[in-house]
Structure 1
Amino acid sequence: MRSISYVFSLGLLLFLFPLEMKSQDTIPPKKQMLYESKTSKKAKELTTALDKNDEAQIAKNYEDLAKQFIDKGDNVKGELYLKRALLSYTKLKQNDDKARVSRNLAKIQESQKKFVEASGNYKEASEVAEDKKDEELNKNDFKRLNSSSNSEAQKGYLNSNIKILEKSDKKEELSDAYVQKAETSLKSNDTDDAIQSYNQALTFAKDKPSKVIEIKNKIATVYASKNEFDKAISINETILEEAQKSNDFETQIKQKQLLATIYFKKSEPEKAVTSLKEAYLLASKKGNTAEVKKSLSALLSYYKSQGNEKESIALYNDFFQNFDNIIQSDTTLIDAKSFQITEDKIKQLEKEKTLKDELITRKNSFNYMLIVAVFLLLIFFGFIAKALYAIKKKNKEIALQSLRREMNPHFIFNSLNSVNQFISQNKELEANKYLTNYSNLMRNMMENSNKDFVTLSNEIEQLKKYLDLEHLRFHDKFDFKIEVGETLDTDAVFVPNMIIQPHLENAIWHGLRYKETKGLLLLKFELKKDKIVAIIDDNGIGLTKSNELKTQNQKVHQSRGLTNTKERIELLNDLYKKEITFQIKEKELPQTGTVVEIIFPHINKML
């Protein structure tokens, strides 16, 4: 007995382990190539995507490959490739795809009773889902797994999902939800509710023949558990008949095996053995080694339990004689070997991709650091340029202030000479009046000494005080008038500080002073085409005759006065981007005198 059992066990070991090794050598090359192209299509598409490092295509191919394994019932590999797809979609930041794959991964993990991992993926799917209904579905499944001890609560979450799915018209998911509901009912031994839920699942799985068969077999299992064997057998026989009509040999084999299981439970071993033998013979004929193994193991187990060594040896001999034919006709082994080769290539390409990604990451990090360094360098140069510009501007402001102050010594010198002249002539009243006006003017000039621009009203006030002083001294030489255009608001517009005064001084000292008759000095302000025009008009002796009368010292001073004014205007234009212009013209005979025209932009705010 023990020796025979040992032979049986040895036979099974020979069947289970060296099988694939032998199959590799006995598969004809042409046949192997035919099946390889069919079963490895998705895998080869994945290798192409990996070779190109196309992340979007890689993610899609991982997902397609996972689906292929799940459809074949290989949930372990299905889970593996879904995880890889999830990583790629996460890297691509494609939340919609990420939510879908996370949900599918959670379902596969739940089917393998990996409830903690499944719960985490349902939660992840709910957090990244862009559709509110998808978010609610995943939240319900997360809560359902975390209330595993409460069947009623689980049914409540499933019913909520069913309502959502009915509105969304997602038939496949709706079918899965009813299956989950049935399995929840079975946990609480509510077989009637389970069968009802399975039947509802069937109505939404019509487009999936394999799904329909799976659900019907679950219903048959429930009936068998209730000892309603005839109903279970009827379901299996119906599936078997449909499989025979459509030449679905794999389903025929599995249904015969399931019938054998029911017959054993029903205590009808003869019928069970007959079904197992039929399954074994059909699997051998069609080269389905996995089902041959399953059927053979069940038969040998039964014969051993009955002590029927004769049947066991006969069955083993039959298997051994047909072993080579079974292996040669098993296309699944070809597929497995072909995929194994492709999978090795996938693993190699994945390693290469990881290295490429690391290199790209390092390169990007270096580029980022380089960009940051260049940016900081530009900022540094910007600060330097800004500092240089500020220094340059400050220098111009200092130069402008220096030029403005340069006008004061000559004016002070002339004013003091005038006071001295009044005193020497015993004109104390005139001297006092002059000093009073002079002090008022100097106070205004000091108050505005740091301002480049002042209001036109302020400037006119200063100029009037200056002209009043000069008129005190040369009252017999000239009179003056100041005219302002009606459209000018002198309190609202601004003009450069002390730009006009040097020209008034030149008109008095070099034109009107030498005139034999009393002259007239006209200072006029007008608004023309949004510009402020200042005109200084005198009827003195004119530029030509004035130059003839000047001493060498006076020539130098006048030249410096005009140069000072030009430099100040250039600096103001440069600093404030204004267009201030001036020109001096000598009047044509028979008239005498000069006309100075200074044009300012219309400025309505303080600079």
Structure 2
Amino acid sequence: MILKKKRLWQLSFAMSLLLLFLACSKQDVIRPNIKNKLASLDSITQTQTEDFFLELDSLLQNSKDLTSLERAMLLFKKGEFLYINFKYQEAFNTHLKCYKLFVELNDIYNQGRSLITLSGASLHMGDVETSQIYALKALHLAKLIEDKRIEGKAYNQLFNLHYKLKDYSKALSYINVTDSLFSKGIDTASIISIKNNKASVYLQLKEYNKALNSYAEAMSLSQSKKSPKILASILNNIGFTYIEANKYENAEKFLRGAATLNNNIKAVNAAPYKGLGNLFLLRSKNDSAQVNYYKALDIYVANKNVKEEIEVRDKLVAISILTGDYAKALDNQIIRDSLQLNVSALEKDRLLNFANVNYEVKQKETEINHQKEINTRNQWLLISTILLFIFLAIATAFYVYNTKLRAANKASKLEQSLLRVQMNPHFIFNTLAAIQNITLEGNAIKSSNYIAKFSKLIRQNFDYVRKESISLDKEIAMISNYIETQQLRFNNVFSYTIEIDQLMDVSKIQVPPMLLQPFLENAIEYGLKEKKEDGKLLLQIEKKGDELLFVILDNGVGRSAKAKEEEVTEDLHATTIFKERLKMRKKGEEKSFILQDLFDKNNNPSGTKVFFKLKL
């Protein structure tokens, strides 16, 4: 009986070991049927993209018995597919999942491959810091396993990063290392891409001959590979290089060659048309430039490439003004500004969403670590002490976090309020109406100048409102632009003067952005616009010790009873925003603020004075 029990126990132990072995081995293999499916998916990647995605998704959702390695490889395929189709956020999320699986499997080679794509997706989404972290991780792993291909891709990713940052000397050093690692390989497509990247750096450094030599090498490789799509891209790049080198006839030949080749292979690519538009505009062939720009614009609109659409519409505005078609210029400018506003809003939403996701991930990690820490404690007294300590830490962190969150919310609301005060619809519509009147009068140069000033003013407001400080010269430039726009609205019924202490270096002094505009607007709206002639607006800026003194004077009709009523609802709101901004600097500057009505000898209103100080 005892012998039977012993044998039964031995058999059970052996069966357990076998099951454990099978369970473990299941995690690190790819079965033949999955290998065949992966191979078949590779064959339809370029030609049947929709079928590829559906079949891959079906495998991931319906195959519950996938091993960890199989699931990781399928996710890798999906991530690469999303990446090459410009779906960077989805590609990032998918590669993050497969990277975690590769880490669990200790598969360093595929970890490196996933890190390369994670870096590329992060860079496309504008997160340079995360992109660099992933690229350096990939480089470390590549050197660890001595894989030259992944090492080259990591260096290439670092090239892309520094190229985007316009650090061209560093970018050139990285692409040279990449070139040396790939030069003896058989991956022609990658070598062509490297040659193109190298040429793009030389182009930025204005070393045109070196750029053309690199493009020539890439073109030779693409011809041997018999890839017309890549060849068309290289022809286009050579055309742009010749434009930069001011060799317009050569540029036209290559750009037309790229456009023709794209048509022959039925590839939709706007770049050659954009290049031809730039070329003809430089040669003052406005009609030809406009035709090619519209061809490029149709493609960018169809592909929802907003950034390129904005750039092309800027060119079309300029051409329309040059050819006297001011209505079309205004239409394109309005569409362009609307697109820019949408881009800014989307970027803000993306950053907020990214911050929220990071916070949730970190919060979950903190909770998991906290739970593991508690589980390791064996004595109740020690557990009680740790729990008390953690409670106090969380309470403190929660208090600090809430304080920062309230400050951030306050700053955000202040930013929004400031933007509403700076660019109210009444001002925008009246300015556009004034520009339209000038356009109808047939004054092309004046109309063009004011369109440029107004567009620049809008861009300045949206650019500066998010910054804590800007240089004083930028603030003065923006204020001058704003006042001149107001002069247009009110037919130059007033003049203005800006007096600046000559001993100041305005480019090195930092001030909060857009402090002055609300008071200048009050001076114009409530004082100067009612004067029929000889209106004067004076802005004085003086440096005394470690303080900047600001004085705004106008000789307007003074603030009427109606204006003072409006001030309660609007202008005092602007003053409140101004004081709140100064309070946030915590230097006591708000106490120096003075808003004073001026009167002449007969006690009649003769203008308004605003005074305040900023500490440097």
Asked if these proteins are the same fold (TM beyond 0.5), I'd say no
Select the structure with the greater relative contact order (CA < 8 A; seq sep ≥ 6): 1
TM superposition score normalised by structure 1: 0.39
Structure (1 or 2) with the larger CA radius of gyration: 1
TM superposition score normalised by structure 2: 0.38
